[in-house]
Amino acid sequence: MRARFCALALLAFTTPAAAQDLPAASAQRIIDEANAEGVFEVVEDEHVTVRHPASGLQCTFFLGDNSSGRLHLYENAQRGDDVSCEMRAPGETTSLYATRYPQGTSLREQLDGAEAAIRQRFRDARPHPPGLTVTVDGQPQHEERHFFVTLDGQRHLTTVSIAIVGEWVIKLRYTATAPDEEMVRQRELMAGVLMSATLMEIEKGRAPPAGEAPL
């Protein structure tokens, strides 16, 4: 089954009203805690949102009593060339990565590496062919893989979705409880919507190549 969503539907899915009163100061605090000044910047909107200008990756944090968010800058690369944001809420964890590889890479190489990491962390990982995917016309190609894993004694669906946008590898890792088939479908949908919304924001913020007029 393939689902298509317009940009408005994607935004509605990813911007709950409960987050609308959170101040930009919270976004700055997240940047400060990660020592990420100059790598991430605050987005001045009604949400707790930060942007990685080099790649266009944008992260919105919906913070609450049982939710948290943080940024990572990885030391294996030049500062700002390998970053991620992580959002945790009850029953689910979402991580978005932006990485620039000087030597280049491919979707297959990235997917195989992500699968190896999942199998190393979860020894009982079982591939799950998704019954539902989300596509949006005009977005960069992305590929995904889904697995059932056991975490804290419960079945979870863990997914990886990867796209290459310009020089950047954009990766989504989404892991959430999936005790029954209805919840599996909801988790598949959420993973697809999150990846499509991420790519939409990146495309909105990218500067056009030299000599090309902006859209």
In this predicted model, what pLDDT tens digit does every residue of 82-121 receive, in sequence order? Answer: 999 999 999 999 999 999 998 889 999 999 999 999 999 9
pLDDT surpassing 70 at residue 10: no
Q: Residue 188 falls within a domain, yes or no?
A: yes
| Contacts with 1 (C-beta within 8 Å, 6 or more apart), sequence order | 131, 132, 133
Number of domains in the chain: 1
Rg (CA), the chain: 17
69, 48 Cβ separation under 8 angstroms: yes
Interval 131-149 mean pLDDT: 86
pLDDT, residue 62, reads 85
Helices 181-205 and 7-14: crossing angle in degrees, nearest 10, is 110
Q: Residue 214 falls within a domain, yes or no?
A: no
Is residue 194 included in any domain, yes or no?
Answer: yes
Identify the CATH number of the domain in which residue 80 sits. 3.40.1000
191 assigned to some structural domain = yes
Q: How far apart are CA 163 and CA 169, in angstroms?
A: 6
Q: What is the pLDDT of residue 214?
A: 44
| pLDDT per position as a tens digit, 16-66 | 433 444 568 999 999 999 999 999 999 988 889 999 999 999 999 987 778
Query: What's the confidence (pLDDT) of residue 92?
Result: 95
Span 132-156, mean pLDDT? 89
On whether residue 6 sits in a domain, the answer given is no
pLDDT at position 204 is 84
User: In the prediction, which pLDDT does 23 show?
Assistant: 64
Residue 17 domain-assigned? Answer: yes
pLDDT above 60: residue 12 = no
Is 4 a domain residue?
A: no
Mean residue pLDDT across the chain: 86
At 137, is the pLDDT very low, low, confident or very high (cuts 50, 70, 90)? Answer: confident
CA distances, 69 to each of 42, 55, 61, 84 (Å): 14, 20, 6, 11
Q: By residue range, what is the domain housing residue 79? A: 11-205
C-alpha closest to that of 143 among 182, 177, 169: 169
What percentage of the chain carries pLDDT values higher than 70? 84
The token pair at 83 is: 């970053």
For residue 178, give both structure tokens: 């999936």
pLDDT at 14: 41
pLDDT of residue 206: 63
Residue 170 lies in a domain: yes
The pLDDT of residue 203 is above 90: no
